[in-house]
Amino acid sequence: MRIFCTFFLIALFCFVRSALTQEIVLGLSKNEIGITAFFDGSEILVFGAIKATDELISNEPLGVAVTIASPLLPVMVRRKEKRFGIWVNVDAVEIDLAPNFYAVATTAAFSQVVDPVSDLRHSISMERMIRSVGAPMTVDDPDAFAEALIRIRQDQGLYKALPGAVTLQDNTLFSTSVTLPANLVEGAYTARIFLTQDGNVIAQKKTTIDVRKVGIERWLYNLAHQHPATYGLLSLAIAIFAGWSAAAVFRVIRA
Give whichever of 99-108, 137-146, 215-224, 230-239 has the largest mean pLDDT. Answer: 99-108
Q: What is the CA radius of gyration of the chain?
A: 25
Asked if residue 59 has pLDDT above 60, the reply is: yes
Lowest mean pLDDT among 19-28, 34-43, 239-248: 19-28
Condensed to tens digits (0 to 9), the pLDDT of residues 62-97 reads: 999 999 999 999 988 877 766 776 766 667 777 888
User: What proportion of the chain, given as a percentage, has pLDDT over 90?
Assistant: 36
Q: Give the neighbor-by-neighbor strand order of the sheet with 32-35.
A: 32-35, 200-213, 187-197, 62-69, 102-106, 159-163
Q: Give the domain 23-213 fold.
A: Immunoglobulin-like (2.60.40)
With both helix axes pointing from N to C terminus, report the angle between 228-254 and 216-226 in degrees, rounded to the nearest 10: 120
The strand ranges marked E within the chain are: 22-28, 32-35, 42-52, 62-69, 72-83, 86-99, 102-106, 159-163, 167-169, 173-180, 187-197, 200-213
Q: What is the mean pLDDT of residues 229-237?
A: 76
Top-confidence residue, 75 or 216: 75
Condensed to tens digits (0 to 9), the pLDDT of residues 13-31 reads: 343 344 445 688 888 888 8
DSSP string, 15-36: HHHHHH-EEEEEEES-SEEEE-
Number of CB atoms found within 10 A of residue 146's CB: 19
Lowest mean pLDDT among 13-17, 116-120, 195-199: 13-17
Output the pLDDT for position 216.
65
What is the rounded CA–CA span in Å between residue 150 and residue 67?
15
State pTM to two decimals.
Answer: 0.74
Condensed to tens digits (0 to 9), the pLDDT of residues 145-186 reads: 888 899 999 999 999 999 999 999 888 899 999 999 888 888
SS3 state at 149: helix
The one-character DSSP state at 9 is: H
Give the helix ranges, DSSP H, for 106-206. Answer: 110-113, 116-122, 126-129, 143-155
